[in-house]
Amino acid sequence: MAGVQDLSRRRRPSRMFMVASDLKLQDHLEGTIRLRRGNICQEQQETGRSRGEHLWVKVLDSDIMVKIDKHFLMEVPGDLSGLLEPVSDPECRHRLLSNPKDLHGLAVCPIGSPLWVRTGYPGELAEAELRYRGPLTRGSSAVLFGVQLKGSAVGRGVSNGSYRGHQHFLCPEASALFLPADQIMLRRPSRSSDEHNARHRDSPPRLVVSVLPRTAESAPSLSQGPGSARAPTSPPPLQVGQRVCFPLEDTIHGGEVRYCGPLPGRTSTGTHVGVLLDCPVGNWDGCYKGQKLCHIPSHLYGHLLPLSKVSPEPKSRRQPPPLQSQPVQTPKSILKPAPPPGVPGPVSPPVSGPKIALMPPQLLSAKQALKPVSPPLPKPINKPLPPVPPLSKPQTPPSPIVADQPVPSNGTQIPTSPLRSPGNRGDAEENEDTGPDSDLEVGSMVEVNDPPLFGVIRWIGRIEGIPEPVAGLELDHDLTAGTDGSYLGERHFRCPPNKGLFVKLRNCRRDSRFPAPETPVNQVERCNSIAFAEWGSERVEEHSPPLEGEEARELYQGWKRGIQGHLNSCYLDASLFSLFSCCSSVDWVLLWPTDSQTGPRSSQAQDLLRCEVVNPLRRFGYVCASKTMALRRLLEAESSDKGFTNQEKDPEEFLNKLFQLLRVEPLLKIRSMTGQPQECHLYQLFPPSIPPSSPSSPGPLSPSLSPLPLASLPASLMRVASVQDLLESSFLHAGLKFVEAPSCLPLLMPRFGKDFKMFDAILPSLSLDITDLLDDTLRQCSICQAVSEWECLQCYGDLDITPGRLKQYCQTCNTQVHSHRKRLSHAPVAVGIPGGPWPGSLHGTRQRLALFAVTCIETSHYVSFVKYGPRLTDWLFFDSMADREGGENGFNIPQVKACPELGRYLSLSEEELSRLDPASLKEPARRLLCDAYMCLYHSPELSLYK
Supply the residues annotated as catalytic.
570, 861
Pairing of strands 622-623, 562-563: parallel
| CB-based contacts of 360, cutoff 8 Å, min separation 6 | none
CA distance 578 to 868: 10
Answer for the pair 210, 450: CB distance below 8 angstroms, yes or no.
Answer: yes
Question: Residue type for 658, please?
Answer: L
Name 170's bridge partners.
none
Could you tell me where the DSSP H helices lie in 771-883? 811-817
- Give, for 747, the enclosing helix (H) or strand (E): strand 744-748
The widest CA-to-CA distance across the chain, in whole angstroms, is: 121
**Complete DSSP assignment for 835-862:** TS---SB------EEEEEEEEEEETTEE
104 in the Ramachandran plot: left (φ > 0), alpha (ψ -120 to 50) or beta? Answer: alpha
**Integer Cα distance of 81 and 143 in angstroms:** 9
Residues 6+ apart with CB under 8 A from 106: 83, 145, 181, 184, 186
Report the C-alpha gap between 680 and 654 in whole angstroms: 14
- Judging by beta carbons within 10 Å of its beta carbon (0-12, 13-18, 19+), is residue 634 exposed, middle or buried? buried
Asked whether 848 and 770 are in contact (CB, 8 A), the reply is yes
Q: Quote the distance between the C-alpha of residue 258 and its chain's center.
A: 17
Among residues 288, 291, 289, 314, which one has the least CA distance to residue 302? 288
Whether the CB-CB separation of 57 and 43 falls below 8 Å is answered with yes
Strand extents, DSSP E, 402-544: 407-409, 412-414, 445-448, 453-461, 470-475, 486-487, 490-491, 500-504, 509-510
> Is 331 in a helix, a strand, or coil?
coil
Q: What is the dihedral of CA 801, 807, 812, 817, to 10 degrees?
A: 40
3-state DSSP assignment of residue 417: coil
Residues 6 or more apart from 199 whose CB is under 8 A from it? 376
Sort 709 into a burial class: Cβ within 10 Å, 0-12 / 13-18 / 19+.
exposed
Alpha helices in 328-377 (DSSP H): 366-369
Alpha helices (H) along 489-538: 523-526
> For the range 45-51, what are the long-range contacts, defined as Cβ-Cβ under 8 Å and sequence gap of 24 or more?
45/10, 45/14
CB within 8 Å of 687: residues ≥ 6 apart = 721, 726, 729, 730, 750, 758
The letter for the amino acid at 97 is L
* Contact between residue 725 and residue 749 where contact means Cβ atoms under 8 Å apart: no
Strands 500-504 and 412-414, by their bridges, are unpaired
> What is the 8-class DSSP label of residue 351?
P
How far apart, in whole angstroms, are the C-alpha atoms of residue 843 and residue 849? 19
Q: How far is CA 778 from CA 132, 634, 760, 809, in A?
A: 76, 44, 36, 12
Q: How far is CA 711 from the centre of its chain?
A: 47
